Homo-oligomer: A and B are copies of this chain.
Amino acid sequence: MLNSIALVGGTHGNETSGIQLVRNWRQHGLPQRFSDLNVSLNIANKEALAANVRFLEQDLNRQFTFDALAENNIAKEAMLAKTLNEQLGPKGNSKTDLVIDVHNTTSAMGATLIILETDEFHIQLARYVKHHMPEANILLEDEKPYLEHGYLCTTGKKGVMIEVGAQPQGVLREDVYLLTQTMAEVILDFCMAYNEGSITTDALPPCDVFRLGENVSFPLDEEGYRTAMIHHALQDADFKPLLPGQPVFRTFDGKDIVWESSTETYPHFINEAAYFKLNVAFATADKILL
């Protein structure tokens, strides 16, 4: 049973759609059909929100490993993580059955559900979301065990993220907001069905899931400056198959750099603003059937 659910916005202070969803549900209430669910509505990083920045000192959504939570780190977000871990967790022994953390991205990833595990619960959730919201993408980040992730959502017994784009930081777009709200509602619909015991894995068809591969960096010169930009053929093509030989970058002197792998991949987080300083151009993924 999912007796306690936490919906979180504002883990990144300039990602507006989750913040607005929390505000609106606080003001107008959740849709009536969820009245049997116990859902708390949370804004994670109020100071970053007031400053309209992703974070003030360190990325809050990387602070929730056991090591980081145990460290004596006086950065604002490190201290905030400890407080939130008390409120929502504590991680590993949580009072919250499910944490839903709401994000948005400058990449054209549409409405994406990020799951971190492939146990029975998450298979059912992924299939349910894909079945009831066919335009959704499911992204699986299971390169390490659930509790080893540093994400805020891992303070819950179970934790997932909603990631919707394309939306610039500090901007609220109606299309992105509505996709965010729809995905949050579909997840809560799943929670209702799960609690009622009306979900069985076999009843839902298997669904395509994108399994995270690795980050691909921008090409840099010796001084660390980029020598190329995302190719127009790749820009906004998140989760579309990228085939060997297809262009990935366009250098500033006008040459194409192509995808040199021997296999196709499914790029996402293409040209995400938050990864600017890390020089991450996009992430790869394999498509699997879950």
Binding site for B on A (CB under 8 A): 20, 23-24, 27-28, 52-53, 106, 166, 168-175, 177, 225-226, 229-232, 235, 250, 252-253, 271-274, 276-277
Establish whether residues A175 and B52, one from each chain, have CB atoms under 8 Å apart when the complex forms. Answer: no
Measured CB to CB, the nearest residue on chain B to A106 is B168
Establish whether residues A175 and B273, one from each chain, have CB atoms under 8 Å apart when the complex forms. Answer: no
Pairs A–B under 8 Å by Cβ, sample size 16:
A20-B229, A23-B225, A23-B252, A27-B252, A52-B276, A168-B168, A168-B273, A171-B276, A172-B226, A172-B230, A173-B271, A174-B230, A174-B232, A174-B235, A174-B250, A175-B232
Establish whether residues B235 and A20, one from each chain, have CB atoms under 8 Å apart when the complex forms. Answer: no
Establish whether residues B168 and A277, one from each chain, have CB atoms under 8 Å apart when the complex forms. Answer: no
Docked pose: A96 CA to B253 CA in angstroms: 29
Shortest distance from the beta carbon of A264 to any chain B beta carbon, whole Å: 22
Q: A20-B252, A28-B253, A52-B276 are in contact. Are A271 and B171 (CB under 8 A)?
A: yes
Establish whether residues B277 and A52, one from each chain, have CB atoms under 8 Å apart when the complex forms. Answer: yes
Establish whether residues B169 and A169, one from each chain, have CB atoms under 8 Å apart when the complex forms. Answer: yes
Docked pose: A230 CA to B230 CA in angstroms: 29
Establish whether residues B229 and A273, one from each chain, have CB atoms under 8 Å apart when the complex forms. Answer: no
Contact residue among B171, B225, B231, B272 (Cβ-Cβ distance under 8 Å from A106):
B171
Measured CB to CB, the nearest residue on chain B to A254 is B28
Establish whether residues A172 and B106, one from each chain, have CB atoms under 8 Å apart when the complex forms. Answer: no
Docked pose: A276 CA to B169 CA in angstroms: 10
Establish whether residues B52 and A169, one from each chain, have CB atoms under 8 Å apart when the complex forms. Answer: no
Docked pose: A244 CA to B4 CA in angstroms: 48
Q: A168-B169, A273-B168 are in contact. Are A174 and B229 (CB under 8 A)?
A: yes
Chain B residues positioned under 8 Å from A166 (CB to CB): 168
Chain B residues positioned under 8 Å from A277 (CB to CB): 52
Establish whether residues A170 and B273, one from each chain, have CB atoms under 8 Å apart when the complex forms. Answer: yes
Shortest distance from the beta carbon of A75 to any chain B beta carbon, whole Å: 17
Q: A52-B276, A52-B277 are in contact. Are A172 and B23 (CB under 8 A)?
A: no
Establish whether residues B253 and A175, one from each chain, have CB atoms under 8 Å apart when the complex forms. Answer: no
Establish whether residues A169 and B170, one from each chain, have CB atoms under 8 Å apart when the complex forms. Answer: yes
Establish whether residues B175 and A235, one from each chain, have CB atoms under 8 Å apart when the complex forms. Answer: yes
Chain B residues positioned under 8 Å from A273 (CB to CB): 168-171
Contact residue among B172, B177, B231 (Cβ-Cβ distance under 8 Å from A174):
B231
Docked pose: A73 CA to B202 CA in angstroms: 68
Most chain B Cβ neighbours within 10 Å, of A174, A230, A232, A271 = A174
Shortest distance from the beta carbon of A77 to any chain B beta carbon, whole Å: 17
Measured CB to CB, the nearest residue on chain B to A23 is B225
Docked pose: A250 CA to B24 CA in angstroms: 13
Measured CB to CB, the nearest residue on chain B to A277 is B52
Most chain B Cβ neighbours within 10 Å, of A171, A177, A274, A277 = A171
